[in-house]
Amino acid sequence: QQRTNSNQITSYIFSTMGEATESILTINNYIAGKHTPPTTNEYIPVINPSTSSQIANVAISNSTDVNNAVTAAHNAFTSWSRLTVKARSAIMLKFHSLIRENANELAELIVLENGKNKTEALADVAKGNETVEYACSLPQLMQGKIDRVSGEVTCKDRRDALGVVVIIVPFNFPFMVPMWTLPIALVTGNTIVLKPSEKVPLTMNKVMDLIEQAGFPPGVVNMIQGTKNAVESLIDHPLVKAVTFVGSSPIAKIVSERCHSLNKRCTALGGAKNHLVALPDCDVNGTASDVVVSYAGCAGQRCMAASVLLVVGPKDGQSQKALLDAVIEKASKIEPGTEPGKMGAVIDEVSFKKIMLYIEQSEKDGAQILLDGRTWIEKMKGVGGNYIGPTVILHNSKTDKAMNEEIFGPVLSVYHVSTWHEAIEIENANPFGNAAAIYTTNGGYADWFCSRFRASMLGVNIGIPVPREPFSFGGLYGTRSKYGDMDITGDGAIEFFTNRIKITTKWPAPTSPEYMLGEERQE
């Protein structure tokens, strides 16, 4: 049996960080507590985005592998779900401290396979661990209700786990996004099959070792590697009760429709196109810093990243010019690399080429490239990696492709609008509905925008308005940012991962006086 354990990975990281590698890791499935090769015996390469060198081979699974993982989860379900919530959260608490102890190693793996910088990778781990922490408080949070609804009738409800649930995740947060659902699914009593992104399987491979150390019984957490076939087999498996998906909009839509056609609960978060609006009264320096962090952080590969900056007021207005100058000045200081403060490469060549096309097309459409990230191609010659620098495009037309489609790279589209209404019109017309933010020093102005934005996570002077638990995370229903049921994380996730069982009880009032002890107390 091929097995990659955490010791191998640790020595591997420190021997190969930033260099071309000779030893190639093998990342397998994890079924019933064992790292298990796929029955297909098929693997695909995992590439380090910063160097373009191969770092691992990851398994490609088929329906037989999926059946093995789902069966393991199903077999573990009865005993796991019958534990008390308190007993399950005690294991989660141990997992929480193991994550803290291993945060540095997890972050090194994230840097290696995802390409983000070390500070961002540590934040990926810390942010994910916040949901683990939240899940530890479920003994208080998932209690049912009880009420006497008429003379002799009482209603109560309790939350029961669904059964085997599937978690499908994207490449951009190798730790945090799986942790949005894994801890809550487990403490509410479900058993799981996780499907990491085939582009970043190393981090979750390491996490399986921590799962084991924390004391989760074999079969409670399983992991299937692979792509489309694995996802389809997971959704279709009759023992799978619910699916959470985070990824691009087209796949979110497919996953949601497939689940719902099988009457399975599904939440599927898709892509985004987030608008930031800057009013003339905004704090120029603070706004510029925040806009740059929002659009260039993690090389723009965040569903919460700023994508369009709508500057209210004339192009030659004093505050408008000052804001754009400050954005460009701050963004142009960013250097390429994975050290803290620098900006990493984008995930792969496909993504790199797609970003290039958006910049080229904008030029053809008559936009002005105020800051050109393509200069990094020359700068990084010989290093390898999919490096593209922070880019700022000033558009003349709001119909430019870059203004309207998800780019998922460090590109900011800027557009001048003359009125607040025009800003809202542009933001509302976009087909996504993930996040939006307003920059102003006036609370009343901020309220005006917050009651009109068509997005579900709103920021006031914050360009990455990620809600923390117990607030749930997710875009607006009916947009390309969210398909399926409910938000992810927070109290929405408790609802998602449980069935409410309602028990109505009628006990007739006692009629035999011989058992009554004395007179009934008068209120």
Catalytic residues: 303
Count H helices and E strands in the chain, helices first.
18, 21
**Interacting residues with ligand NAD between 253 and 282 (CB under 6 A):** 254, 269-272
Taking CB under 6 A as the rule, which mask of x and - marks residues 276-315 in contact with ligand NAD?
---------------------------x------------
- The neighbour count for residue 157, using CB atoms within 10 Å, is 16
Angle between helices 228-236 and 249-261 (to 10 degrees): 30
For ligand NAD, which is the closer residue by CB, 324 or 436?
A: 436
| Backbone angles phi and psi of 243, in degrees to 5 | -135, 135
Nearest distance, CB of residue 168 and ligand NAD, angstroms? 5
Six-digit token pair at 294?
Answer: 């929002």
For ligand NAD, which is the closer residue by CB, 102 or 172?
A: 172
Answer yes or no whether residue 168 interacts with ligand NAD by CB under 6 A: yes
For ligand NAD, which is the closer residue by CB, 66 or 303?
A: 303
The secondary structure of 139-162 as a DSSP string is HHHT---EEEEETTEEEEEEEEE-
Member of 154, 248, 319, 428 binding ligand NAD (CB under 6 A): 248
Nearest distance, CB of residue 251 and ligand NAD, angstroms? 4
Count the residues in the chain.
523
CA 359, CA 368: separation in Å to the nearest integer?
10
Member of 195, 237, 273, 480 binding ligand NAD (CB under 6 A): 195
Evaluate the omega torsion of the peptide bond into residue 470 and state whether it is cis, within 30 degrees of 0. Answer: yes
Stretch that binds ligand NAD, among 32-40, 166-174, 323-331, 418-426 (CB under 6 A): 166-174
Nearest distance, CB of residue 245 and ligand NAD, angstroms? 7
Member of 123, 125, 177, 299 binding ligand NAD (CB under 6 A): 177
Six-digit token pair at 284?
Answer: 């120029």
Answer yes or no whether residue 227 interacts with ligand NAD by CB under 6 A: yes
Six-digit token pair at 287?
Answer: 């706004």
Find all residues with CB under 8 Å of 53, minimum gap 6, and list them.
19, 20, 21, 47, 384
For ligand NAD, which is the closer residue by CB, 6 or 256?
A: 256
Answer yes or no whether residue 228 interacts with ligand NAD by CB under 6 A: yes
CA 386, CA 115: separation in Å to the nearest integer?
9
Nearest distance, CB of residue 248 and ligand NAD, angstroms? 3
Answer yes or no whether residue 108 interacts with ligand NAD by CB under 6 A: no
Answer yes or no whether residue 346 interacts with ligand NAD by CB under 6 A: no
CA 479, CA 413: separation in Å to the nearest integer?
21
For ligand NAD, which is the closer residue by CB, 44 or 383?
A: 44
The SS3 of residue 364 is helix
Answer yes or no whether residue 246 interacts with ligand NAD by CB under 6 A: yes
For ligand NAD, which is the closer residue by CB, 173 or 445?
A: 173
For ligand NAD, which is the closer residue by CB, 328 or 345?
A: 345
For ligand NAD, which is the closer residue by CB, 44 or 369?
A: 44
- The neighbour count for residue 141, using CB atoms within 10 Å, is 18
Six-digit token pair at 239?
Answer: 């023992």
Q: Which stretches within 136-283 are classed as H helix?
A: 138-141, 176-187, 202-214, 228-236, 249-261
Q: Which residue's Cβ lies closest to ligand NAD?
A: 247
The answer to whether the CB of 386 falls within 8 A of the CB of 351 is yes
Stretch that binds ligand NAD, among 42-50, 62-70, 113-121, 240-248 (CB under 6 A): 240-248
Nearest distance, CB of residue 270 and ligand NAD, angstroms? 6
Member of 89, 117, 172, 294 binding ligand NAD (CB under 6 A): 172
Nearest distance, CB of residue 306 and ligand NAD, angstroms? 13
CA 340, CA 348: separation in Å to the nearest integer?
21
Stretch that binds ligand NAD, among 162-170, 310-318, 364-372, 414-422 (CB under 6 A): 162-170
Answer yes or no whether residue 175 interacts with ligand NAD by CB under 6 A: no
Which of 248, 247, 241, 172 has the alpha carbon at shortest distance from 203?
Answer: 172
Member of 57, 244, 362, 481 binding ligand NAD (CB under 6 A): 481
**Interacting residues with ligand NAD between 70 and 99 (CB under 6 A):** none
Nearest distance, CB of residue 196 and ligand NAD, angstroms? 7
Q: Which stretches within 335-466 are classed as H helix?
A: 349-364, 375-379, 401-404, 420-429, 443-450
Stretch that binds ligand NAD, among 144-152, 153-161, 169-177, 462-470 (CB under 6 A): 169-177
Answer yes or no whether residue 145 interacts with ligand NAD by CB under 6 A: no
Answer yes or no whether residue 38 interacts with ligand NAD by CB under 6 A: no
E strands present in 449-523: 457-460, 482-484, 498-506
Answer yes or no whether residue 231 interacts with ligand NAD by CB under 6 A: yes
Find all residues with CB under 8 Å of 95, minimum gap 6, and list them.
132, 183, 210, 211, 214, 216
Would you state the torsion angle of the CA atoms of residues 281, 285, 287, 292, taken in this order, to the nearest 10 degrees?
150
Rule CB under 6 A: which residues touch ligand NAD? Answer: 168-172, 177, 195, 197-198, 227-228, 231, 246-248, 251, 254, 269-272, 303, 406, 408, 434, 475, 481
